Amino acid sequence: MKNLVYGRITYLHSVKGAEMAPTMGAHDNNTLLVRKLPDVDTRYVSVGDAVVLKDPNETHKYLVRRLAALEGSEMVSSDEKEEPFVLEKDQCWVVADNQEKSKEAYDSRTFGPVSLADIVGRAIYCMRTAVDHGPVSNSEFSMQEDSPILAVELDVDELAKDHKA
């Protein structure tokens, strides 16, 4: 009944590729349950969250990346030739989870800081295969905030139906 009045606050999102492995699995296709975040600021996201954001170079596409730093954080490159800088207000830094391919990763190391306004949601549950699925590891704050939403809106049968292994 709540869904009829208020609508769902989650949606399904398909993820291809292994840039977020092992979190999202190394499979070609994973289905995520994503919590919508219509008004994103530092009250709603935390470092450590797996977020869905608009691709900075192709705004009709979406990426899933780990939130690594928020506004005010000093960023220091491993390349000694690059100067440190501080993330400005409403900026964040996102990275791919796959450490084995970190040099080729398409994340803030490639495209730089991202606007918080480009974040559209937080991944809260991942269906890697029909037998390998579960909550996405996020910050402690976000896991507590998303727990009641999972209890109400998670439908594993729906995820499995929409999942294309």
Mean of the per-residue pLDDT values of the chain:
86
User: Is the bond preceding residue 22 a cis peptide, omega within 30 degrees?
Assistant: yes
Residues 12 and 75: their CA atoms lie apart, in Å, by 33
Sign of CA dihedral 5, 134, 45, 118: negative
- pTM to 2 decimals? 0.87
Whether the Cβ atoms of residue 5 and residue 79 lie closer than 8 Å to each other: no
Q: How many domains does the chain have?
A: 1
Phi, psi of 118 (to 5 degrees): -80, -10
Q: Does the residue 114 lie in any domain?
A: yes
Full domain range(s) for residue 125 = 2-156
Burial class (CB in 10 A: 0-12, 13-18, 19+), 132: exposed
Tens of pLDDT along 99-118?
A: 776 667 899 989 999 999 99
Residue 22 belongs to a domain with what CATH number?
A: 2.10.109.10
**Could you list the active site residues?**
19, 65
Residue 164 counted as domain residue:
no
Residue 21 has pLDDT above 80, yes or no: no
Asked if 69 and 87 touch (Cβ cutoff 8 Å), the reply is yes
Does a structural domain hold residue 87? yes
In a domain, 96, yes or no: yes
Q: pLDDT tens for residues 117-150?
A: 999 999 999 988 878 889 999 999 999 999 999 9
Query: Per residue in 24-52, pLDDT tens?
Result: 766 667 889 999 987 787 888 999 999 99
> How much is the average pLDDT of 67-75?
95
Q: What are phi and psi of 160, to 5 degrees?
A: -65, -40
Specify the pLDDT at position 124: 96
